Structure 1
Amino acid sequence: MRIAVRYTLLGLLVFVLVACAAMGLYAHANRFVAPQARHPPAPLAEVAPAPDDLQWHAYGGDDGQTRHAGIRQIDRGNVGHLREAWTYRTGELARRDRWGREGKFQATPIIAGGSLVLCTPFGRVIALDPATGAQRWVHDPQIRFERRPDERFNCRGLARWVAAAPVEAGSCNERLILATTDRRIVALDAASGEPCAGFGRGGEVQVPLDRADVREGELQFAAAPAVIGDTIVVGSASGDNGRIDAPSGAVRAFDARTGAQRWSFDPIPRTHDPVASPTWHGDSAARTGQANVWGSITVDAARDLVFVPTSSPSPDYYGGLRKGANLYANSMVALRASTGERVWHFQTVHHDLWDYDLPAGPTLLDIRPADAPPGAAAVPALAFATKSGFLYLLHRETGEPLAEVEERPVPPSDVPGEWTSPTQPWSVGLPAITPQALDVADPFGLLVFDRRACAEAMSAARYEGLFTPPTTGHGTLVYPMGAGGANWGGLALDPARNRVFVNTNNAVQHVTLLASEEAERRRRTERDREVALMRGAPYGMMRAPLLSPIGLPCNQPPWGQLSAVDLATGRIAWQVPLGNTRKLAPLGIALPLGTPNFGGPIVTDGGLVFIAATMDNLLRAFDADTGEELWAGELPYAGHATPMTYATGGRQYVVVVAGGHPVLGNEIGDAVVAFALPRR
């Protein structure tokens, strides 16, 4: 007996040792190796000094949000030599104590007043020397809060305004515009960081809550403001699915000189609108909130137009109390910048039940269709991507589609009291940028039990394709999920090719409607789940990504992608996985399966697309022609932000903030990292 036990234990020990050795060998074979290490670049030749280029003056690089830079010192031939030039730490983690880990560091810096300037999640504005990263000045608006805001702490960027004629002797003719979590518009002198005394009261304007029942933290500012002429335009963010009468999603405009409010536009018609009001049954528009503009805003100064991407009305997943198509929610809306008057709209989702907000402002371009005759004039256009995986191309002046869009029948709801649109818009003239059809018979799973569990969960839920409405019981599969598809990173445009680049997520979301009483109970008892009450509706909601028992998405990878689309031909030029598992899997196993990604790409005249966004703590460079990954640079934390680039002192720099993400669960940080070619 003892001998048998001894041999059994020895056998187990041998099995464990063999398994560990096999695991170690597998991990070694699948470790991360940067592309520049796998394929070392040719020795760095003499690099011509880059002319100074400090033109990245707006959140998206320029007013049209092209995220394009005409700098070419770093190119496909030498990008493999890119090195960290400097790193700056904001110090917010130490400064904010427990709140520091509730910040979303997603800012894209801009150039203003000769400095590289950015905002932290807590609204601190920091000016750095663009060449060294040395701090020049800091302004802290001292945001006021007693509890965590619904959308946490965030400041994705700043705006810049330059006076056409001097407004104050010696200061504030070039201004930085900050929109804070606690709803203030702050104007600072771009050179010194001092508040502009002639703007509002002491350099700031407090935007009040529009109703007595809206609490502090329920409505906030997070995205970068937009500036057009002497007008500042600001959207807002508010927590989803709290109640049917959520805060108003009004877009506001302010005088850049004085801070006086010039106009506001509410995407939900509170008073009679001959176009929008008929799309709301009864008085539902009066008691519905949101349809807010929480993403970036694009402007066209030459045409006096502001383009605002609106979100879903409240709540996201039940619309029985807001029956109708719900204009101007889920729409790209063009407003007259001087008056706030609506010029045109294009709705991408009728009566949203899936959290398919428009997450980012459009990219402006002039396009010549592939079949246009020689010498034909370019058409003023705009392009944008959606959470549902569609890419749209519209005429900038009229909103008419320049690539075919058709209405297609979609499944009806089986929830009592709900209303669903019989059709939804389908962009068929341009390719889908992420898979939109889920094969429930082909789940993903690394192990047999893993795959079986996914198969059972997928077959139990309702799924009849894109736009399957939420339901009770076993719930609904929402695919693409509410986080995209595309998200707030928007598009990058190569204007020479009319080629756009966009990153997307690819995962399934499981959404279940719960009777109000059950939602209350499960919210109390299941703290690890997202259960929203949707107060005022007969249902609450529970949602989560559909994951296997070992925590992997149940749908087939890649779970993150980067795509290039040629707008003139309407074809995908290339599509590659974005992100690996080295920070998610044991032993640093780096499988190129793609990861959730938030942030966006930029493109340069060096033929490169730069993007961070992923959960693997890397900034990457891809060949804009082929999609080949040419370089990957280490970041101290995940860079869930859009990079930017500029040239000064003969060197081109690529800069991205790296701060992790409190919702994704990766490590939180406070770094700003710049990369450049080595000095010769």
Structure 2
Amino acid sequence: MIRTVALALAGLLTSVSLARAEAGWPHYGGDAGGTRHSVAAEITPGNVGELRRAWLYRTGDMTTHADDMKFSAFEGTPILVAGALIFCTPFNEVIALDPGTGAEKWRYDPKVATGYRPANQFVCRGVTHWADAAAGEGDLCASRLFMGTVDGRLIALDAPTGQPCLGFGMDGEVKIDPGMALLTRSEFQITSPPVVARGVVVIGSAIGDNQRADAPRGTVRAYDARSGRPVWDFNPVARGAEDFPGDWQDGSAGRTGHANAWAPMSVDEARGMIFVPTSSPSPDFFGGERVGDNRYANSVVALDAASGEVRWHFQTVHHDVWDYDLPAQPSLVTLRRDGKPLDAVVQVTKTGLVFVLDRDTGKPVFEVEERPVPQGGVLGEVLSPTQPFPVAPPPLVPQHLKTEDAWGLTFWDRNICREMIAAARSEGLFTPPSEQGTILFPFTGGGANWGGMAFDPASQVMYINTNRTAHVVTLIPRDAFAAAKAAEPNKEISPQVGTAWGMKRDILLSPIDLPCNKPPFGMIHAIDLNDGTIKWESVLGTVRDLAPFPLPWKTGTPSFGGPVVTAGGVVFIGAAMDNYLRAFDASSGEELWKGRLPAGGQATPMTYEWEGRQYVVIAAGGHSTSTTTRGDFMVAFALPH
């Protein structure tokens, strides 16, 4: 009898232990440091080919927001908390699903205004969970969610029910003051999830580019996670004026905006540090009104969670006039050096450069050199003579487009591409914008973008997808701007008010709308962070859902969304401009499987275990600026029972 009871208890304890050991996904980036790694190991290179659709959920946006879908992108990544998969739609509805079936458990609608074209699309990348250790068990909002909205609100919800946390701000929300009158309702938005550290919830912002020099400030704001009371704020531009004499000269800090954190942030709770990726100052393509390096802009900034004070910062682009802001979450990884652990921050960039920094000091782990870059900006511009280049890892994308690099399907379109390249300034990375027209290669969508990287702590290998497309940026004298805008009303031509120059930005495409540079146009890379070498590279994506006819080459496509890597040895990624979720062998880079999606998967997937089964989930809703297939789906894949 005693032995029977002991065996029963042992079995119960074993089942509880196994249940607790199931792989979760409690944060947007998998963990607070954004490594996008899962300990789930049921799916392996040997069986990934057997993946099948497990369930499919529709948000209803294709019906309820039919007219606004053309200005939206479904970039949301769910988190697994409170026994549910929880995510936000492009229109900031928060939805909780049963992790095993995809059945809806609850939904909350903050009723954001629609019926207009936002500066940064209708988009919401995710929500953030926080457990209040001081709350009583079962109290409303003891387990709560935070979300920023496209209309500038910070919202707190009870995670199990979706009810507003009425004690937070005013009836569960804080309305954020952008600090100045806006040109349009969409000039100031929030698109990435907040972070929580040491009891404060911290939010960045997405601000419309290139409209004016005197733009909204890129202030990072912290609020008490229980009450919504303001705790501190960090203005990258104002701090620059105080800390760096000679920077932001002639009072330019007072009339310069942006340097905002539109991409996700990361948290080291033990250190009480928040890692903020900042963007370029306003406007993007002319910096004559903001002389100096503009430090804290285009930087990884490590903030003290309690006070908002700067612990350290590292700038990846000096005096940015290329829109090469930091687009991705800084990933907090632990490396091995001389047999000892080294906590680091890895920052991927639009330029295709990867910076690996000591987490405590911000000093480069791999050497960074200041190298001379092209000069000769337009009248009034004051360029930085050098830019930082890491010695390792090597650049992940080509950084110079020459006439001999022109590509096309026929001699006719190749020659036209060659002529367009020859007509523009193209002297390599950091060639300054010009009245002649300057080729930015890679383009302002990357290199890397907001999807970020994944990191396997066992192999010390990071995985990142990159784009290989070019922009042509042309500066337009103020007295010629109105005529240029009227002549090409459908082009991206922006005024940059407060400067002497407007701007035009075009993707460098052939007459048949293919990139003028040689394929592949999209890649996924594995980089060994032990020594900074590239382990493998594979083409990512096809033109199946873009071209009117198949191409005989494995071209790849630009991609938006990032990878995840599992302990099972598989890298999952959607992101490409076709309707697939793909699986790559983490060791070799071989594409092992692709699952057809009902719409574009321009989102970062996530994976988890539920009741002994591993699922891989991705939003499939398409991306308006990428012209991918639109939809309102959340799709889960799993191995057959």
Distance 2:89 2:115 in 1: 19
Structure showing greater radius of gyration is: 1
Q: What SS class does the counterpart of residue 368 from structure 1 fall into? A: strand
Measured in 2, the distance between the counterparts of 1:340 and 1:355 equals: 26
Deviations 1:26-55 (A, max 9, x none): xxxxxxxxxxxxxxxxxxxxxxx9986252
**Does 2:480 align with 1:518?**
yes
Q: Which structure 2 residue ranges, 5 or more long, are not aligned?
A: 1-17
- Structure 2 residue identity aligned to 1:99: D
Any idea what SS the aligned residue of 2:68 has? helix
Matches within 5 A, 1:144-223: 144-145=113-114, 147-166=116-135, 170-213=139-182, 215-223=184-192
Mapped to 2, the partners of 1:383 and 1:290 lie a distance apart of 23
Q: Which residue identity does 2:73 align to in structure 1?
A: K
| Aligned CA distance change for structure 1 residues 54 and 114 (closer, same or farther; 3 Å) | farther
2: CA distance, partners of 1:349 / 1:583? 35
Aligned to 2:261: 293
Q: Using the TM superposition, name which of 212-221 and 311-320 deviates more.
A: 212-221
3-state secondary structure, aligned to 1:161: strand
TM value normalised by structure 2: 0.95
How many Å apart are 1:214 and its aligned residue? 5.1
Pick closer, same or farther for the CA change 1:590–1:646 going to 2, 3 Å: farther
Distance across 2 between alignment mates of 1:145 and 1:131: 33
2:270 to 268, 279, 302: 302
Q: Does 1:439 align with 2:372?
A: no
Number of the residue aligned with 2:322: 354
**Deviations 1:561-617 (CA, angstroms, capped at 9, x unpaired):** 000000111100000111011112223447421101000000001100000001111
Q: Secondary structure at the match of 2:416?
A: helix
Counterpart in 2 of 1:387? Answer: 350
Residue 454 of structure 2 corresponds to residue 492 of structure 1: yes
Report the counterpart of residue 234 of structure 2 in structure 1: 265
Is 1:412 aligned to residue 380 of structure 2?
A: no
Q: 1:637: how far off?
A: 0.8
Give the 3-state SS of the residue equivalent to 2:502 in structure 1.
strand
Task: Quote the residue 2:467 is aligned against.
Answer: 505
Amino acid at match of 2:523: Q
**Aligned partner of 2:418 among 449, 452, 455:** 455
Deviation at 1:428? Answer: 1.2
Q: 1:169 to 1:88 in 2, by over 3 A?
A: closer
Contact 2:23 2:40 in 1 (8 A): no
Post-superposition CA distance 1:353-399 (Å, at most 9, x none) = 11000011211111123xx2xxx321111111110110111000000
Deviation, structure 1 residue 520: 2.1
How many angstroms apart in 1 are the aligned matches of 2:552 and 2:71? 28
Cα distance in 1, alignment partners of residues 183 and 359 from structure 2? 36
- Counterparts of 1:307-318 in structure 2, within 5 Å, are 307-318=275-286
Check whether the contact 1:101–1:662 (CA below 8 A) recurs between aligned residues.
yes
Determine the C-alpha separation between the residues in 1 that align with 2:401 and 2:254.
Answer: 37
Shift in alpha-carbon separation, 1:674–1:50, aligned structure 2, 3 A: farther
2:91 corresponds to which of 122, 132, 139: 122
Q: Distance in 2 between matches of 1:656 and 1:53?
A: 19
Structure 1: distance between partners of 2:20 and 2:200: 32
Distance 2:227 2:193 in 1: 19
Gaps of 5+ in 1: 1-48
Q: Distance in 2 between matches of 1:145 and 1:102?
A: 10
Secondary structure at the aligned position of 1:188 is classed as strand
Query: Residue 596 of structure 1: which of 558, 566, 571 is its match?
Result: 558
8 A Cα contact 1:51 1:647, kept in partner: no
Aligned-partner residue type, residue 347 of structure 2: F
Aligned equivalent of 1:338: 306
Which stretch shows the higher mean deviation, 64-73 or 426-435?
426-435
SS at match of 1:455: helix
Corresponding pairs, count: 624
Work out whether 1:61 is the aligned partner of 2:23. Answer: no
Provide the residue aligned with 1:14 in structure 2: none
Aligned-partner Cα distance in 1 for 2:182–2:29: 35
Three-state SS of the structure 2 residue aligned to 1:93 is helix
Equivalent residues in 2 for 1:644-655, closer than 5 Å: 644-655=606-617
Structure 2 letter corresponding to 1:211:
M
Q: Which moved further from structure 2: 129-138 or 224-233? A: 224-233
**Inter-partner Cα distance in structure 2 for 1:547 and 1:147:** 29
The CA distance in 1 between the partners of 2:479 and 2:116, in whole Å, is 26
The alignment status of 1:605 with 2:567, answered yes or no, reads yes
* Alignment match, 1:35: none
Distance 1:469 1:341, change over 3 A: same
Kindly indicate whether residue 251 of structure 2 is the aligned counterpart of residue 283 of structure 1. Answer: yes
- Change over 3 Å in CA distance of 1:588–1:429 after alignment to 2: closer
The answer (yes or no) to whether the contact 2:469–2:515 under 8 Å persists in 1 is yes
Question: Identity over the aligned pairs, expressed in percent?
Answer: 50
Report deviation, 1:334.
Answer: 0.2
TM-score by length of 1: 0.90
Cα displacement string for residues 385-418 of structure 1 (whole angstroms, at most 9, x for unaligned residues): 1101101110000000000100000111241111
Does structure 1 conserve the Cα–Cα contact (< 8 Å) formed by 2:178 and 2:217? Answer: no
Aligned-pair CA distance for 1:651: 1.0
1:431 Cα shift? 1.5
Q: Does 1:251 align with 2:213?
A: no
Structure 1 CA distance for aligned equivalents of residues 605 and 220 of structure 2 = 26
Equivalent in the alignment of 1:581: 543
Task: Find the aligned partners of 1:203 and 1:269 in 2 and give their Cα distance.
Answer: 30
Match for residue 10 of structure 2?
none
| Structure 1 counterpart of 2:9 | none
Superposed displacement of residue 94, structure 1: 1.0
Shift of 1:93: 2.0
Deviation at 1:508, TM superposition (A): 1.2
Q: Write the distance in 2 (CA, Å) between the matches of 1:180 and 1:242.
A: 22
Aligned-residue offset at 1:666: 2.1
Q: Which amino acid aligns with 1:327?
A: R
Compared CA separation, residues 545 and 271, structure 1 to 2 (3 A): closer
Return the alpha-carbon distance in structure 1 between the equivalents of residues 115 and 585 of structure 2: 47
CA deviations on 1:62-85 (whole Å, 9 max, x unpaired) are 001010000000111100000001
CA distance, structure 2, for counterparts of residue 88 and residue 588 of structure 1: 30
CA distance in structure 1 between the aligned counterparts of 2:476 and 2:117, rounded to whole angstroms: 26
How far the C-alpha of 1:198 sits from its partner, in A, is: 1.2
Distance 1:527 1:391, change over 3 A: same
Distance, in Å, in 1 between the alignment partners of 2:475 and 2:357 is 35
Matched, 1:427 2:384: no
Q: Where does 1:78-117 land on structure 2 (aligned, <5 Å)?
A: 78-117=47-86
Q: Partners in 1 of 2:561 and 2:226 — Cα distance?
A: 31
Separation in structure 2 between the aligned mates of residue 269 and residue 362 of structure 1, nearest angstrom? 23
Residue type matched to 2:530 in 1?
A
Distance 1:576 1:488 in 2: 20
SS in 2 for 1:97: coil
Equivalents in 2 of 1:653, 1:579: separation in Å?
22
Contact in 2 for aligned 1:320/1:419 (Cα 8 Å): yes
1:619 is the counterpart of 2:588: no
After superposition, what is the alpha-carbon deviation per residue over 1:127-161, rounded to whole angstroms, capped at 9, x for unaligned?
00000000010000111356332112111000000
**Cα distance between partner residues in 2 of 1:60 and 1:575:** 23
| Alpha carbons of structure 1 residues 481 and 264: separation in structure 2 relative to 1, 3 Å | same
* Matched-pair contact (CA < 8 Å) for 2:198–2:306: no
Tell me by how many angstroms 1:168 deviates.
8.2
